[in-house]
Structure 1
Amino acid sequence: MCNSMDISSSQGSKDRISELPDYLLHECLALLEMKNAAQTSILSRRWRYMWTHHLTNLDFDPNSMYPEEYATFLTHVAESRKYFAWINQVVNIHQGPCIDKFRVEFHYYSSCATQLGKWVKFALSKRVKELVLDLTGISLLGDDYSEKGFPLGFDMLRHPPCYTGITALQSLHLQYVNVSQEFIEFLLFHCRHLERLFLSLIPLSRLTVRTSKLKYLTILMSTGNLEYLEIDAENLLYFQYRDERHNEGPCMVFKNLPKLVETSFCGGFCRSPFPIFNKLVLFSKQLNKLSLEFEAISSNHMNLAIPEGVVIPTFPNVKHFTCTIICWGHSCILSMKRFLKACPMLEEFKLQVDFMTIAEKLIEARELQEVDLENENEIEEMNNSETGFVREAVVENRNEEEQSYPKLRILELVGFAGTSCDVQLALAIVSYASSLETIICDPAGVRYSCTGNVFWLDPSTQHKAAKRRARKLAKIVAPKVTVMIV
């Protein structure tokens, strides 16, 4: 018996993973993150260099290298050098014929252009499918700061493996990279498998996207250089555009977008709904997801108001609508009434309110007065007010078919403060949305945006008060609607 126990014990400790055929081991390694795959080199001689042949996901995420000191990595030259050394070590010993993903993320400065160029050539020569250059232009690592970003152009393709390898690209993410209109057109023409294109902080004045393969396109501009944008992409499903300029943005020409179902417009150029409507009207009837951001230019919110007679495009197939309003106070959310009417099939509506002024100034404003939700007379007076959301809706049109939102199931209020406007909006939607199941109140989302900086409310004051008002609202709408407080 003693011998049999020894035999079973010996069999139980046997390395059965190493007995697997090579192709299965390769599959296992491909599923591991790069850091974990490299650690397998200590298992045995057979495993020592196996990961260098079969690792296909080269995601140099600084958060994995500096999980607790990411800010230190961003601000210290010594830490950035460690990051570069990590990338160089992997690049130099990698033996595989191809890679699926190559991603780097750091603050770009001009003296590292040669280093970065070497990595891009490596990735392209390996026929990379997803290339991510997630760079920023904040000069924290030295004085040799370049305002135009990393230069990526035709010089990179003089290396023959890069010229042939670039055709394998399926996803391209360029942030703070200096590319020309001609080079992007070249990529779109030769990268026959390219389905995702992300462009951020790219110094372009004109851009034409003409392709039959692209499915996802994101353009984020902060400097406002873009003056003309043309998109002709018959298979495009998703389009996002952000522009921080406080005007109507670039001239946009949309051609042949029969499959576009989701779009997002945001930034400083969205100070008025009218330019956005003009851009959406061509494909408003085919969208099923819509995300818009508006910015109020003054405390009276007149730029968010829609005068009588102005026709809003209808969105008959939109089921998910997200709207962010950067404003001076809560009264601007009352403008949402006509937007919701334009989406008769809406199922989920998310409204986020960000403020442009500091908390003390807002608290003094009339629109931020707290509502006593336990006082029935005050609620009735609010609803009967000539300026109230509910009263205005009823007076304007009593046609239930026009006013109702029959499919709306979820209402999410990010930045809920429990003001009269918050409550009026919630109660009006409860009245008109016969299928409404849940209201999500997120007081933690209340924040202030001032000169590019974000200030969150003190959780010990306004946050707690908003939660208290949300609990009172839950009692009013129960049991018809469930209120979730996050």
Structure 2
Amino acid sequence: MDILSSQIVTDRISELPDEILVDCLSLLDMKSTAQTSIISRRWRYLWTHLSTLDFDPELTYPEEFETFSKNEKYETTKYFAWINQVVSVHRGTSIDKFRVHSRYVTSYATQLDKWVQFAFSKRVKELVLNLIGINLICIDHSEKGYPLGFETLRYPPCYTGITAIQSLHLCYVNVSDEFLEFLMSHCHHLERLYLQAIPLSNLKVKSSKLKYLSIVMCFSDLEELEIDAENLLYFLYDDAKREGGPHMVFRCVPKLVETDFRGGLCQFPFPIFEKLSLFSGQLCKLSLDIDPNWKTYETDLAIPEGVIPSFPNLKQFTCTTICYDSSCILALKRFIEACPNLEELKMQIIYMQNDGYCEADVLREIDLDENLQPEINFSSGHDMEIGHVPDTVTGNMNEEKSSHQNLRILEVVGFLGVECDTRLILAIINYACSLKTVICDPQGIRYSHTPFDNFTDAPNEHDAAKRRARQLAKIVEPKVKVVVI
């Protein structure tokens, strides 16, 4: 009986329509999907109809991902061959996503041309060419990256297929300003554009459909950027400059509600605020990577009064800053005052340790007295031994007329429990009368020995920082809840 029953058992999965089976396969990574061809004759070619072709070595070969980005021979013989094989047997009529993540190898530019032509001829909706490898440090700045231009589109199906693209992500690809402008004018459904390590000079972004625009670490000198995008919702700009930035013109951005700025525009004397003043009234979410001028670290660190525009509708603000001394409290207070409806504030603090640029008290641990009352009055002077903070910071922080009514959540990433961040938290608790939660996250603790060094993590400080955060909680609770991550 058991033998008879086993003979009539059917494979219910294989009875499903091809369309459903292909959808199921799309949930797997490329390597696992190809392996399903051995299940049965019915399954042999199903994977060749996939609409998502994500050639991500980190997912497919996680144990070998680092080799992919450092060993040119390994890349060219295995990774490129893998993509060529899939492209040659693909039978689908269209592609939703085509993604390549590999360090660019000059001798294989022709291969990349064929892949791009293949993707466009299949009317790809999302194209990702990430040719940086593990990180930006791996690339050769003497090169300009993979050359993508009008020659690549001469293949007729490729030229007509570009109109279907909705998302374009280019990293370390040598494209001209003219070619990008051509794509934006012909890709009528393009909603997302991400550019990283692209040799830009004078770019005009004009699109009626574009919603998300990111320009990151374009290491050549971008002199002018003009944006005319009536449906743009999000804009990220991050350059490698130490001072200044490109001339930016915002022609038409009536729906822009979220921005993220890093690099030269956010350095002293903070030209970013002049740019933001053009549309500050409509922003709901803002991220800034503020880096004061390290050469004038004493008094010029504080953002000058009157520089920050008003942000009446801003709800969320994320600020990453290098901490040189306690004057960052004054700068932050001025920004909060400009955001009357701010509800969530996130601070990422990076600490300077070089004696030439950092006050010693900034990294000095504070002896918190557990018997202190939650309401700490800075202006009256407290017997808590903490370093000097300018009177302009402490004088008006507790006056009712200058209190903030809507700030509910404060998150400090890189919390150490030392002079700078503890003083900052206590000041905001007194200043923001509606504050309910303070999140202390020591996981992001980072140091910089000089203004231009790479930042390094400090895992040994995590336990000590958590202990100090719990001490802080005993002082400020129950008025404010302290969450230690």
With the length of structure 2 as denominator, give the TM-score of the two structures: 0.90
Between 1:318-327 and 1:371-380, the stretch displaced more is 371-380
1:424 alignment counterpart: 423
Cα distance in structure 2, aligned partners of 1:222 and 1:473: 42
CA-based RMSD of the aligned residues comes to 2.9
1:79 alignment counterpart: 74
2:400 alignment counterpart: 400
Look up the SS of the partner of 2:62 in the other structure.
Answer: coil
Output the amino acid matched with 2:303.
Answer: I
Output the amino acid matched with 1:440.
Answer: I
Q: Would you say the 8 A contact 2:325–2:358 is kept in 1?
A: no
Look up the SS of the partner of 2:365 in the other structure.
Answer: coil
Cα distance in structure 2, aligned partners of 1:235 and 1:140: 34
2:192 alignment counterpart: 196
2:446 alignment counterpart: 447
- 1:56 is aligned to 2:81: no
Look up the SS of the partner of 1:68 in the other structure.
Answer: helix
Give the direction of change, closer, same or farther, for the CA distance of 1:43–1:477 in structure 2 (3 Å limit): same
Output the amino acid matched with 2:297.
Answer: N
Look up the SS of the partner of 1:249 in the other structure.
Answer: coil
**1:160-211 Cα distance to aligned partner (Å, 9 max, x none):** 0110111111000111111111111110110000000011111121000011
- 1:150 is aligned to 2:146: yes
Cα distance in structure 1, aligned partners of 2:325 and 2:280: 29
Cα distance in structure 1, aligned partners of 2:162 and 2:203: 20
- 1:235 is aligned to 2:231: yes
Cα distance in structure 1, aligned partners of 2:260 and 2:110: 36
Cα distance in structure 1, aligned partners of 2:218 and 2:208: 28
Output the amino acid matched with 2:64.
Answer: E
Cα distance in structure 2, aligned partners of 1:208 and 1:376: 60
Cα distance in structure 2, aligned partners of 1:468 and 1:140: 36
Give the direction of change, closer, same or farther, for the CA distance of 1:92–1:330 in structure 2 (3 Å limit): farther
Cα distance in structure 1, aligned partners of 2:247 and 2:176: 19
Look up the SS of the partner of 1:472 in the other structure.
Answer: helix
Cα distance in structure 2, aligned partners of 1:73 and 1:208: 35
Output the amino acid matched with 2:222.
Answer: L
Q: Would you say the 8 A contact 1:243–1:268 is kept in 2?
A: yes
Output the amino acid matched with 2:455.
Answer: V
1:67 alignment counterpart: 62
Cα distance in structure 1, aligned partners of 2:192 and 2:200: 19
- Structure 2 residue corresponding to 1:272, chosen from 253, 268, 272: 268
Output the amino acid matched with 1:413.
Answer: V
Written as runs of structure 1 = structure 2, the 5 A alignment for 1:18-29 is 18-29=14-25
Give the direction of change, closer, same or farther, for the CA distance of 1:330–1:58 in structure 2 (3 Å limit): farther
1:485 alignment counterpart: 484
- Structure 2 residue corresponding to 1:257, chosen from 253, 259, 263: 253
* Structure 1 alignment gaps of length 5 or more: none
Compute the displacement of 1:406 (Å): 2.2
- Structure 2 residue corresponding to 1:341, chosen from 337, 350, 354: 337
2:11 alignment counterpart: 15
Look up the SS of the partner of 1:136 in the other structure.
Answer: coil
Look up the SS of the partner of 1:32 in the other structure.
Answer: coil
- Structure 2 residue corresponding to 1:372, chosen from 367, 373, 379: 367
Output the amino acid matched with 2:197.
Answer: L
Cα distance in structure 2, aligned partners of 1:141 and 1:317: 41
Q: Would you say the 8 A contact 1:334–1:421 is kept in 2?
A: no
1:219 alignment counterpart: 215
Give the direction of change, closer, same or farther, for the CA distance of 1:477–1:381 in structure 2 (3 Å limit): closer
Number of equivalenced pairs = 475
Q: Would you say the 8 A contact 1:60–1:104 is kept in 2?
A: yes
Compute the displacement of 1:32 (Å): 3.4
Give the direction of change, closer, same or farther, for the CA distance of 1:345–1:390 in structure 2 (3 Å limit): farther
**1:381-432 Cα distance to aligned partner (Å, 9 max, x none):** 966459976964563477635x233222211101111122322221222223
Q: Would you say the 8 A contact 2:117–2:158 is kept in 1?
A: yes
Q: Would you say the 8 A contact 2:266–2:289 is kept in 1?
A: yes
Look up the SS of the partner of 2:213 in the other structure.
Answer: strand
Output the amino acid matched with 2:15.
Answer: E
1:463 alignment counterpart: 462
Q: Would you say the 8 A contact 1:296–1:327 is kept in 2?
A: no
With the length of structure 1 as denominator, give the TM-score of the two structures: 0.90
Output the amino acid matched with 2:26.
Answer: A
